[in-house]
């Protein structure tokens, strides 16, 4: 009987528990369905609000408790800004005083009030810190009340800015009329504009100088805009401090574009003008540096003979690169020794020091040097590991979820808005809410927020949040796979290595689906709409215009095919195709024609463009990381970087794959005496640091 009672009680409890669980599941499904319905309704209402008027309100009847509801009225007001009155805007600002759309509305309405020249309402609503244009509008409002300007109080900060918006023109003219813009102040701003490369600012300042000084200022404009014309005209210029400034500027800029022409001009002009030692050093540095990037026959000698006062970090590095291009291994060692201590500690120069030692037959020293570099998780660390047949260094840490901390994140209104904005495909606004909500958060909160973002497919949050220190160990979050976007099947269909495709994507956009470059490259793999249209047509893929590139599936399908096209042009080589993806195939062909005899590591090191050198290194490093993410091991970097002219195929598997392991920390014996301070090595690059530019641009 007792057993029967227990059995009945057990069945009863099981029924209760199961029923409770079922009810919870139903409630969760109901909540999820309700949230999806709100998101769909918000998208409709927001589209209507963006057209102005109050039509959006009929579509937002059930959205008053939705976190993004304030964005609707703000969108409508922004559209109707020229008809809106201050009372309407003030009402919104009072209702949502700390929200991002309220701050945007205040800024934009102030610009509208300035356009109307409604200075009374402008002054009533103005807040400092809204940008240079509104700062100047505020000064116009002050002048409208017949107030006088004070240079130190009103203009000093603006004056130090090399370029100002047109809203500042009336204020600067008034300042000149009031006698505040003295020649000394005008020339100080011209000098700042020269340093910033802003010829337009110089021209606008010249009108307030004497006719003679204005002509001198225009010489600086010519040096910036057309250095070749400037050095030609300089043969007739007088020898004054300002003309020497212009000639120096022109020669340095011309060296960048036409090093031989600049050389000839320098031979003519150096005896005509009494250049200061600093000016002479600047010209000599530019000539040596840009003869080096052209790999001229005497480039190495020029860099070696460059006076110490004329040397810079860039000229010292290029001394190494030219020596590498010549395979002059003793010159490589000498050039590395001439680097600053900070430069020498960079893993690139540690690696090439080991290469030089090996080529010179100093095997034991080379082995020790390679082993040291191989402890670093980096492009050069992995090149060194291949030389030593060692595993790749990678210390990966899994970030544990903390439910309590995550609930606190989700309870924050700003984070609620951030996650919802991401869910309704408004990533730019989502990033702004994220940044504001976490501006003062501790590391634990940020890390839990990143986990939540990753679960929602918001992958770029980890890339930006985990870009230094111990956070670099969170490799699985920093290098997501995002299988739903189709990288692996699309890469396989295109005939390229999925790990390489992932590497390109990670470098190009850092997983920002809405990334857009100044050249209008768009989306995850940063394709130009014109390029994407051609790729789509060539491969028989659908094309729905440039905005479709913000769809990850579309972008990846086209991006992988374009990568395959680049690879076809370079014998399938992923490292050369990566360079072409960044700098263009025509440039890469020029470099190949000039230096095809170099092995891949030396070729990459001698790419003239810093951006492309670093790009190739990051892509190849990230390809290894993604190979590990996909398979648990990785193809050796050396198998991806075959010599120029040797065909590469991802279908030819390497004989052995690499393990990625965490090296044991070096242990210093307690009895060891500390090294003298003078002999202590400078801080080295973190053994777990990724190549530069993990931080967004």
Please tell me whether residues 607 and 532 are part of one structural domain.
Answer: yes
Q: Is residue 693 part of a domain?
A: no
Q: What is the largest CA-CA distance in the chain?
A: 119
Helix/strand/coil for 59:
helix
DSSP 660: E
Domain assignment of residue 464, given as a range? 403-469
- If asked whether residues 556 and 632 sit together in one domain, one would say yes
Question: Do 531 and 585 lie in a common domain?
Answer: yes
pLDDT of residue 146: 82
Q: DSSP states of 66-79 as a string?
A: STTHHHHHHHHHHH
Chain centroid offset of residue 193 CA: 25
Rounded Cα distance between 266 and 272, Å, is 10
Do residues 377 and 643 make contact, with C-beta atoms less than 8 angstroms apart?
Answer: no
Residue 36 known to be catalytic: no
Q: Could you tell me if 502 and 618 lie in one domain? A: yes
Q: What is the Cα–Cα distance from 109 to 112, expressed in whole angstroms?
A: 5
Are 559 and 500 in the same domain? yes
Q: CA 57, 58, 62 angle in degrees (round to 5)? A: 85
Q: Quick one: pLDDT at residue 24?
A: 45
Q: Are residues 388 and 508 in the same domain?
A: no
* Domain closes at, from 103, 127, 151: 127
Q: Supply the pLDDT for residue 31.
A: 74
Q: Is residue 52 part of a domain?
A: yes
CATH number assigned to the domain comprising residue 388: 1.25.40
Partners of 527 in beta bridges: 522
Query: What's the rounded Cα separation, in Å, for the pair 542 and 561?
Result: 13
Written as one string, the DSSP assignment of 26-50 is: HHHHHHHHHHHHHHHHHHHHHHHHT
Statement to judge: residues 407 and 551 lie in one domain: no
Q: Is residue 237 part of a domain?
A: no
Q: Residue 655's pLDDT is what?
A: 82
Residues 505 and 626 in one domain: yes
DSSP state of 58: G
Q: Report if residue 665 sits inside a domain.
A: no
Q: How far apart are CA 467 and CA 432, in angstroms?
A: 19
**CATH code of the domain covering residue 635:** 1.10.530.10
- Model pLDDT, residue 28: 52
Nearest residue to 535 (alpha-carbon basis) of 514, 518, 519, 558: 558
Q: Give yes or no: residues 378 and 443 share one domain.
A: no
> Does a structural domain hold residue 670?
no
Residues 327 and 407 in one domain: no
Q: Is residue 386 part of a domain?
A: yes
Note whether 500 and 624 are same-domain residues. yes
Do residues 551 and 452 share a domain? no
How far is residue 439's CA from residue 442's CA, in Å, rounded to a whole number? 9
**SS3 state of residue 127:** coil
Structural domain contains residue 436: yes
Where is the domain boundary, 393, 418, 444?
Answer: 393
The ranges of the chain with pLDDT < 50 are 1-27, 668-697
Q: Is residue 166 assigned to a domain?
A: no
User: How crowded is residue 434: how many other Cβ atoms within 10 Å of its Cβ?
Assistant: 26
pTM, rounded to two decimals: 0.89
Q: Tell me which of 508, 568, 611, 614 is the catalytic residue.
A: 508
Contact 689, 346 (CB under 8 A): no
Picking from 365, 393, 421, the residue at the C-terminal end of a domain is 393
Return the number of other C-beta atoms located less than 10 Å from residue 360's C-beta.
14
Number of domains in the chain: 4
Condensed to tens digits (0 to 9), the pLDDT of residues 206-245 reads: 999 999 999 999 999 999 999 999 999 999 999 999 999 9
d(CA 243, CA 237): 7
């Amino acid at each position: 009987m007792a057993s029967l009672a227990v059995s009945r009680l057990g069945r009863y409890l099981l029924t209760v528990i199961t029923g409770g669980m079922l009810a919870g599941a139903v409630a969760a499904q109901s909540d999820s369905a309700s949230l999806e319905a709100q998101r769909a309704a918000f998208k409709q209402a927001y589209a209507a609000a963006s057209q102005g008027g109050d039509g959006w309100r009929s579509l937002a009847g059930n959205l008053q408790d939705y976190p993004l509801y304030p964005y609707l009225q703000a969108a409508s007001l922004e559209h109707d800004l020229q008809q809106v009155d201050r009372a309407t805007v003030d009402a919104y600002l009072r209702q949502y005083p700390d929200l991002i759309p309220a701050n945007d509305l205040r800024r934009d309405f102030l610009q509208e009030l300035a356009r109307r020249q409604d200075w009374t309402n402008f002054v009533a609503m103005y807040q400092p810190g809204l940008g240079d244009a509104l700062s100047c509008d505020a000064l116009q409002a002050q002048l409208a009340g017949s107030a006088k300007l004070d240079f130190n109080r009103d203009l000093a900060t603006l004056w130090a800015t090399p370029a100002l918006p047109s809203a500042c023109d009336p204020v600067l003219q008034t300042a000149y009329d009031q006698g505040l813009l003295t020649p000394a102040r005008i020339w100080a701003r011209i000098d700042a504009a020269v340093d910033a490369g802003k010829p337009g600012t110089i021209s606008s300042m010249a009108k307030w100088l004497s006719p003679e000084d204005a002509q001198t200022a225009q010489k600086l404009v010519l040096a910036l805009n057309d250095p070749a014309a400037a050095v030609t005209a300089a043969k007739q210029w007088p020898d004054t401090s300002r003309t020497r400034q212009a000639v120096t500027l022109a020669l340095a800029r011309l060296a960048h574009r036409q090093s031989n022409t600049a050389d000839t001009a320098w031979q003519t002009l150096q005896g005509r003008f009494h250049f200061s030692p600093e000016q002479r050093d600047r010209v000599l540095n530019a000539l040596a540096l840009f003869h080096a990037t052209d790999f001229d026959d005497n480039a190495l000698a020029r860099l070696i003979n460059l006076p110490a006062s004329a040397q810079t970090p860039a000229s010292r590095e290029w001394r190494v690169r030219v020596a590498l291009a010549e395979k002059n291994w003793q010159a490589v060692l000498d050039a590395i020794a001439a680097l600053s201590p900070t430069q020498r500690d960079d893993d690139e120069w540690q690696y090439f020091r080991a290469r030089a030692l090996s080529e010179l037959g100093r095997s034991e020293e080379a082995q020790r040097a390679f082993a040291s570099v191989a402890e670093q998780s980096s492009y050069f660390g992995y090149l060194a590991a291949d030389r030593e047949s060692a595993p790749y260094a990678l210390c990966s840490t899994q970030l544990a979820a903390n439910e309590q901390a995550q609930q606190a994140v989700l309870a924050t209104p700003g984070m609620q808005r951030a996650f919802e904005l991401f869910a309704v495909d408004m990533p730019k606004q989502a990033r702004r809410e994220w940044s504001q909500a976490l501006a003062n958060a501790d590391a634990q909160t940020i890390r839990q927020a990143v986990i939540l973002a990753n679960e929602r497919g918001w992958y770029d949050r980890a890339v930006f949040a985990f870009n230094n220190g111990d956070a670099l160990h969170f490799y699985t979050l920093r290098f997501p796979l995002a299988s739903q976007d189709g990288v692996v099947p699309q890469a396989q269909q295109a005939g390229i290595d999925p790990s390489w495709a992932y590497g390109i994507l990670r470098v190009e956009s850092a997983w920002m689906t809405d990334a857009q470059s100044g050249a209008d490259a768009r989306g995850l793999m940063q394709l130009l709409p014109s390029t994407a249209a051609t790729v789509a047509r060539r491969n028989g893929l659908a094309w729905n215009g440039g905005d479709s590139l913000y769809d990850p599936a579309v972008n990846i399908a086209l991006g992988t095919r374009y990568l395959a096209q680049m690879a076809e042009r370079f014998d399938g080589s992923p490292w050369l195709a990566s360079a072409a993806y960044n700098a263009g195939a025509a440039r890469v062909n020029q470099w190949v024609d000039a230096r095809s005899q170099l092995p891949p590591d030396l070729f990459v090191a001698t790419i003239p463009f810093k951006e492309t050198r670093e790009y190739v290194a990051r892509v190849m490093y990230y390809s290894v990381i993604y190979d590990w993410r996909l398979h648990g091991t990785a193809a050796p970097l050396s198998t991806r970087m075959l010599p120029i002219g040797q065909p590469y195929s991802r279908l030819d598997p390497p004989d052995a794959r690499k393990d990625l392991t965490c090296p044991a920390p070096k242990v210093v014996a307690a009895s060891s005496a500390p090294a003298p301070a003078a002999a202590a090595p400078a801080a080295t690059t973190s053994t777990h640091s990724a190549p530069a530019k993990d931080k967004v641009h």
